[in-house]
Structure formats: C-alpha cells, structure tokens
Amino acid sequence: MEAWEKSLKNCITSPEELSGLFRLQGGAFSPVVERYPMRITPYYLGLIEEPGDPIWRQCVPDPAELDDLTQSPDPLDEERLSPVPGLIHRYPDRVVWIVSSACAVYCRFCMRKRGVGCASMAPAKVDDAIAYIAGDPRIRDVVLSGGDPLLLPDDRLAAILSALSRIPHVEIVRIGTRAPVTLPERITPGLTRLLKRSHPVYVNTHFNHPREITPQSAKACARLADAGVQLGNQTVLLKGVNDDPQTMLSLMRRLLAIRVRPYYIHQMDLVQGTAHFRTRVGQGISVMQALRGHTSGLAVPHYVIDLPGGKGKVDVLSGRPGSGGRTLLFTNYLGEEIEYPEPD
C-alpha cells in the first residue's frame, strides 16, 4: 500500500473524531454529515490553525448547509446533459467524464455536493463512455472529473488514458483534481511517469487560499510540471475564505511561483447547501481590480460564472443589470440571454 492510500484510510470522516480533536461538541456536525459526507485527510487537517479559519471553512461541515433550501442540487443541469450516465456533454467539442465519485477531502462548497461521496453518484462505465466519445467526431477535448480522477489507482487511470489515446479525434485530455492541495503524496513518481507518456495532458488543480501552498503541495506541482504537464488552477470565490483582494493577490502570485497558471476564478455555483459561501458579483470585481495592473498578467485569471441550466461559462465583466437590480443578464455562446440572480 502506498503512502497516499494509507492517508486515505486515516481520513477524518465522523463528527466524533473531529470534535475530539478540537474539543468541540460534535452534535452540530452530525445532521450535516448524514446528508453531506465529511472526509478530511490528515495532511489537510494539519493546515487548520483554528476553528472557523479559511481551511476549516472549506472542509468542516456547517449547519448552514442544511438551511439552504432554495438553490438547486444540480443547477448546471448536468444530469439532463448526460447522454450516458456519468458523461456530461454540454459544449459541442468537449465532454466531462465522471471517472470517480470520491475525493480526498469533501469540500463543503462542491458543485456536485448532491453526489460526491454518496452512493447516489456513480462514475461512467468505461466501455459506455469510450463508445460515446468514439462515436461523436466533434469531441476533441475530454475532461476527466469526479470526484477526483487521481484517486483512481494508476492502472485504472492508465486504462482510461490509453483508451482515449486510441480515438483519433480526441486531441487533448484534461484532468481536474484537488489532490496536490489535499493529498499531495498522491503525486508519486509512478503517476507522473504515467501522465508523461500520455501527453497531451493538462491538469487543472484547485487552490483557494495561500495557506494551501505548502512545501508538500509545491513539490507535488513541481513533479507534475517536470513531467511536462501543463498546470492551471481554478479558484472558487468563497465568502470568509478568499473574498478579500489581498488574499487573492497573494494566492495568484504564489501559484505562479510554483509553476501553476491561474486559469479561472469562479463565482459560486447556485448549488443547494452552499449559499453561505456566495458573494455578490461586485465583491469579485473588486478582487479582480486588485489583480489587474498590480501583478503580472500571468497571475490574472478569467472571472467567470457558470450559468444556471447548463448554459455555459461567461465572463462576469460582460454582464449587465437585470430586472430590479437583483439579477444580471448575460449572453452565452449560443446567443441566448440568461438571467443570473444575485444573493440577497
């Protein structure tokens, strides 16, 4: 058993374990964990300095998760856009393949909070996914997602990458993973050798706060970069975590220093159980203003909203006021006008 597999076996998964470590009452966590599972690696738990800090907020259950009853479990209509269970085909030339239903840490703001870590979410079957992708010559870009694809054993990941490499019209593979952030020991020499022989492979990871950039996570990213993997980062704008300009500026600068290119800052998706993380768009614009001109253009990501209903991503700055000042209007890539609600 490898070190990363041992770490997964030692994850904190119960309210009793968590409350014992921090001398808190576990009763408040229990109803939340019954609905939305908890999993925290020993490594990521060690980054918490005190209850309520930016690392804590990302991984520790909050009763507010159960108070959010107005938002949708699947606001991006992924299930409707799945021609094969576990394969999402939203844009003509690319698909998202759910290859894993588990993560090393179950983030409390997860866009697939409805299913990650739950029996209700199953990865797409390899034969079915490959058959669908092979049958549609428009598909040139495959995104492996989950859950976390890097929680698969090397041999299973190799089989998926090998099968994709035999489809002539698939040009690139992207992997979305938080393993360098939450389980850096997963980035082993064996994994990097596998990815190196599978190029072109792009990895988008998910740092949300400067304190997540540690010697361990920097080493994990260096191993990937040294293997020729193009590294990007997708940050979610989270209230109480990174919604102040200086925190985001520090994060973006430090990402470049470890050879990770900032790619997206995401406005929070309208996912049920996550409303307490949402900021107003104006706050995100203030964050972007603190980046532009104050640091290298390399450190300035796109600030985007993934529109409800599976209507695609749009640049936030392209929005215009909607009805009553409570919504924003966007025009998506299909020319459709979509309304986006601001939080109260």
Q: Which residues are annotated as a binding site for [4Fe-4S] cluster?
A: 103, 107, 110
Q: Is 59 a catalytic residue?
A: no
Residues with Cβ within 8 Å of residue 128, at least 6 apart in sequence? 84, 85, 87
From the candidates 57, 94, 113, 311, give the one annotated as an active-site residue: 94
**Active-site residue, from 11, 178, 306, 311:** 306
Q: Give me the catalytic one of 57, 112, 174, 178.
A: 112
Task: Note if 112 is an active site residue.
Answer: yes
Given 91, 132, 140, 196, the catalytic residue: 91
Where is the binding site, in residues?
103, 107, 110
Q: Considering 43, 110, 114, 311, which one is annotated as catalytic? A: 110
Of the candidates 225, 191, 221, the one whose C-alpha atom is nearest the C-alpha of residue 207 is 221
Would you call 125 a catalytic residue per the annotation? no
The angle at the Cα of 52, spanning 102 to 121, to the nearest 5 degrees, equals: 15
Is-catalytic flag, 239?
Answer: no
* Catalytic residue selected from 269, 303, 311, 340: 269
**Hey, is 144 helix, strand or coil?**
strand
Contact 284, 309 (CB under 8 A): no
- The answer to whether the CB of 188 falls within 8 A of the CB of 4 is yes
Cβ–Cβ under 8 Å, residues 112 and 137: no
Backbone angles phi, psi at 116, to 5 degrees: -65, 125
Active site residue 103: yes
User: Which class for 284: exposed (0-12), middle (13-18), buried (19 or more C-beta within 10 A)?
Assistant: buried
Q: Map 267-294 to HEC letters.
A: CCCCECCCHHHCCCHHHHHHHHHHHECC
Q: Which of 39, 107, 114, 148 is catalytic?
A: 107
**Of 57, 114, 178, 313, which one is the catalytic site residue?**
313
Q: Which of 39, 90, 113, 253 is catalytic?
A: 90
From the candidates 11, 59, 62, 103, which is the catalytic residue? 103
In the residue annotation, 306 being an active-site residue is answered as yes
- Give the contacts of 273 (CB within 8 A, at least 6 positions apart): 35, 36, 65, 66, 68, 71, 108, 113
Note if 193 is an active site residue. no
Q: Which residues are catalytic?
A: 90-91, 94, 103, 107, 110, 112, 269, 306, 313
